[in-house]
Amino acid sequence: MPGFELFGDIEREQVNDVLESGVLMRYGFDGMRNGHWKAKELENEIQNIFQVNHAQLVSSGTAAISVALASAGVGAGDEVIMPTFTFVASFEAVMMLGAIPVLVEIDDTLALNPESVLQAITDKTKAVMVVQMCGGMGEMDVLKDICIEHNLILIEDACQAIGATYKNSALGSIGDLGCFSFDFVKTITCGEGGAVITNNKDYYLHADHYSDHGHDHIGNDRGAECHPFLGYNFRISELHAAVGLAQIKRLPEIINIQKKNYTVIREALSKVPEITFRRTPEGGEENYSFLSFFLPDIESSLKVSQALKACGIDGCFQYYNNNWHYLRNWDHLKDFKSLYPISKEVKSGLKYLKSKSYPKSDYYIGRNISCLIKLSWTEEEVIKRASKMVEIIKSSL
């Protein structure tokens, strides 16, 4: 991770196709394209690889979440249950629709705690969004059963977990809608981009129209198309799709490299008795983009994190005091710091953040360190890194 570490001739060839045609927009200009439809090709590849009926490319992973929610009818005043450990984009995408993010506890999978999800369901709950952070997953069967029982939409934010599987199904394909991100630091990258996948034809058509100002994409004259409902501009460009088309063909190669490097480091760290690892539910296989482990307490985790950084071991994240991935420092959300007025419904719905505590999340995030796995490491570098990490952790403890 990330895919840009493997940029090469395949990506250049795909981008040059677009530049030579001169058509950078994914829609229209049929006569100028010389048969090049990179976004359509990438959508077909996504459908085939992840075994889903429909894929809709959009401009980012954040856009993918908003489009997915809107496509399923989530909007003003609806509550969306999501985890305390995520990237800020997850709650931003919910709030953009006027919906209310309801943050609940995580467990040792670093994903939604099913018991906390059950406790958070109200008559306003419309969807549950499982966020598959650092390449892993939550209890997908349990979460899916909860959503079925309570007639809720299950959204998978698989932006950090593309290529991971659960019981032989790709993450993103298990819920009602799945979301991917292809930004610059993701496992495969377009530079900027994202995708919504689903097996529900209505949700797909909604995503297709909504992400392009409401265009119904019927016929060959874009100016004559109808707009059955309101939409916005979340389109991907042909240039971004071209990079993604090259990258997605390399996904098996990327996952294999990550798994190899991950395994070397995990085997080394497993010899440190104080370390336990993030739990992967039975039947699950992460995408190996991060190695996440726990230390006995928050003090030792913070100490080890600082020691790793001081000794030049980069890419090891301790999220307890992180500004972007854990709710403790989301003061801009808690204090409603916005450039424009936030609706009364959302303000009222988020009041709980002022007083609510999350002891289970603090327990797991406080003890956790997640280390990214690079594709560019040589075998010698990985072995040396693993050995140095063990040495630093042991001396810190």
228, 250, 272: which is the final residue of a domain?
A: 250
DSSP letter string, 211-239:
TBTT----SS-GGG---SS---B-PPBHH
Same-domain pairing of 309 and 183? no
pLDDT of 4 strictly over 80: yes
Both structure tokens of 341: 């007025």
The CATH number of whichever domain residue 118 belongs to comes to 3.40.640.10
250, 275, 300: which is the final residue of a domain?
A: 250
* Per-residue confidence (pLDDT) for residue 179, from 0 to 100: 98
At 3, the pLDDT band (50, 70, 90 cuts) reads confident
Same-domain pairing of 246 and 351? no
CB 185 within 8 A of CB 2: yes
Q: Domain range spanning residue 61?
A: 3-250
Specify which residues 29 forms β-bridges with. none
Provide the percentage of residues in the chain whose pLDDT is more than 90: 97
When pLDDT is averaged across residues 198-204 and rounded to a whole number, the result is 98
**Euclidean distance between CA atoms 389 and 17, whole angstroms:** 44
**Euclidean distance between CA atoms 382 and 385, whole angstroms:** 5
Same-domain pairing of 244 and 263? no
The CATH number of whichever domain residue 345 belongs to comes to 3.90.1150.10
Both structure tokens of 127: 């969807």
CA angle 1, 55, 170 (to 5 degrees): 50
Quickly count: other Cβ atoms within 10 Å of residue 151's Cβ: 8
Same-domain pairing of 85 and 221? yes
Q: Among residues 247, 223, 239, 220, which one has the least CA distance to residue 22?
A: 239
Same-domain pairing of 78 and 11? yes
Torsion of CA 391, 160, 181, 124, to 10 degrees: -140
Same-domain pairing of 150 and 23? yes
Q: Which helix (H) or strand (E) holds 204?
A: helix 201-210
Same-domain pairing of 17 and 95? yes
pLDDT of 1 strictly over 90: no
250, 269, 297: which is the final residue of a domain?
A: 250
DSSP letter string, 143-202:
HHHHHHHTT-EEEEE-TT-TT-EETTEETTSSSSEEEEE-BTTSSS--BS-EEEEES-HH
At 32, the pLDDT band (50, 70, 90 cuts) reads very high
368 phi, psi to nearest 5 deg: -95, 145
Terminal Cα distance for the chain, rounded: 29
Same-domain pairing of 213 and 304? no
Same-domain pairing of 139 and 285? no
Predicted model pTM: 0.96
Same-domain pairing of 132 and 185? yes
- DSSP letter for 352, please: G
Same-domain pairing of 239 and 115? yes
* Per-residue confidence (pLDDT) for residue 2, from 0 to 100: 80
Look at the chain and report how many structural domains it folds into: 2
**Euclidean distance between CA atoms 330 and 324, whole angstroms:** 7
**Euclidean distance between CA atoms 169 and 56, whole angstroms:** 19
Same-domain pairing of 295 and 218? no
